[in-house]
Structure 1
Amino acid sequence: MAAGEQRIDKWLFFARVVKSRSLAQKLAVSGAVRVNREKISHAARIVRPGDVLTISIHDRVRILKVLDSGDRRGPAPEAALLFQDLTPVRADLVGAPLAEEG
């Protein structure tokens, strides 16, 4: 594998999109992940920097641009360096209170 390339299941796990590698494999096989608008059906699909992932998870859609491959599942600030979040902000959530006061 060339530098920067990684299996989609490992990348999803290292980027902290899912909690385990087995969940990442199930997500990839379920058809809930697209790479550059193409639906994938296997966990061994290779992703590279510049690829755009569309992930349907937990009743929402996330759009992530791959910036780098991961070496390990590190803390959240380290995982955030692996991608750029391109998910548009939902208009119905803008200005909504975060928590009830009282």
Structure 2
Amino acid sequence: MPEKDDPRVRLDKWLCAARFYKTRTIAAQAIESGRVRVDDQRVKPSYAVKAGTWITLSKDSLVWRVEVTAVSDKRGPASEAARLYRESPESAAVREEEIAKRKAAAASAPRTSGRPTKRDRRRLHSFFEKN
């Protein structure tokens, strides 16, 4: 049984409270699928998290490596959730770089005004028929 000076919380509850996932069920599914690791080990959703634990999670092809600084099983405001963990500087740098790449790719993507017109479809068809 955990002592009072060493509080522990289930991993799926902590991920929900820290706002990495919207619901505990989604957090549990991510843990079961191996997208969430604790100290580079696969764990179950019932794993007891305590302060000082390192968690690696991948979501939307972005990777977070965070250290648990506080535990909570209640989902609160984002300002409180941000106090539950501290992201490693390397993880933050890699993640920000990936986000910048995505924004650059989206900016360079051609802008379409919706559905192609009949004329546009004919041009596309003739282009792909030649190649």
Q: TM-score, normalised by structure 1?
A: 0.83
Aligned residue pairs, count: 97
Greater strand fraction, Structure 1 or Structure 2: 1
State the Cα RMSD in Å. Answer: 2.1
User: What is the correspondence of 1:1-102 to structure 2 with a 5 Å cutoff?
Assistant: 1-2=2-3, 3-40=6-43, 42-86=44-88, 87-90=91-94, 91=97, 93=100
TM-score for both structures, normalised by structure 2: 0.66
RCO greater where, 1 or 2, for CA within 8 Å and sep 6 or more? 1
How far is 1:72 from its partner? 1.4
Bigger Cα displacement from structure 2, 51-60 vs 82-91: 82-91
Secondary structure, in 3 states, of the residue corresponding to 2:71? coil
Structure 1 residue 88: deviation in Å? 3.4
Residue 93 of structure 2 aligns to a residue in which SS?
coil
User: Going by fraction, where is helix more abundant, 1 or 2?
Assistant: 2
User: Does 30-39 or 75-84 show the bigger shift?
Assistant: 30-39
Q: Gapped runs of 5+ residues in structure 2?
A: 108-131
In our comparison, the structure showing a higher alpha carbon Rg is: 2
1:37 and 1:77 mapped to 2: Cα distance? 27
Point out where structure 1 has 5 or more consecutive residues left out of the alignment: none
The Cα shift of 1:73 comes to 0.5
Q: Kindly report structure 1 stretches of 4+ aligned residues shifted beyond 2 Å.
A: 1-4, 90-94
Matched-pair identity in %:
31
